[in-house]
Structure 1
């Protein structure tokens, strides 16, 4: 059974969705700047390692509370 999670959706061009099928995790990041980017992970620790790099405090364009909310949504997967 595949479980789907929406991490965020700003509009129809800027969103991040995650599908979990057992241990296999597929993350789809859709952006009006980069198009669609798909990441495959074989474990939750690998996913969280990517999340911590992708949403580092130095690189995140937004408020700290927005960044922490996104990271918390990933932790609930």
Structure 2
């Protein structure tokens, strides 16, 4: 059984989850714009490196709390 963490979910078409599969982390990003995108990481630092590139502060201008919540949730996985 894999442990699944919900990072955010705005509706059934926009969400980000992380599944912990042993030592592997599978990030599933579902978006109404791009469909489902899956990323597999072998370590938490690798996942956080991806997250820092994917969720840039410039994309969250005026929504800094939302960015902080996403990054916090990813760190807790």
TM-score interval w.r.t. the shorter chain?
over 0.9
Residue 61 of structure 1 and its aligned partner are, at CA, apart by 6.3
When normalised by structure 2's length, the TM-score is: 0.93
List runs of 5+ in structure 2 lacking aligned partners: none
How many equivalent residue pairs?
A: 77
List runs of 5+ in structure 1 lacking aligned partners: none
When normalised by structure 1's length, the TM-score is: 0.93
Alignment partner, residue 32 of structure 1: 32
Higher helix residue share? 2
Provide the alpha-carbon RMSD of the alignment. 1.3
Alignment partner, residue 69 of structure 2: 69
| Cα pair 2:60 2:66 within 8 Å, conserved | no
Residue 36 of structure 1 and its aligned partner are, at CA, apart by 0.3
Which portions of structure 1, spanning 4 or more consecutive aligned residues, are displaced by more than 2 angstroms? 59-62
Alignment partner, residue 59 of structure 1: 59
Alpha-carbon distance in structure 2 between the residues aligned to 1:18 and 1:35: 16
Q: Secondary structure at the match of 2:59?
A: coil
Alignment partner, residue 45 of structure 2: 45
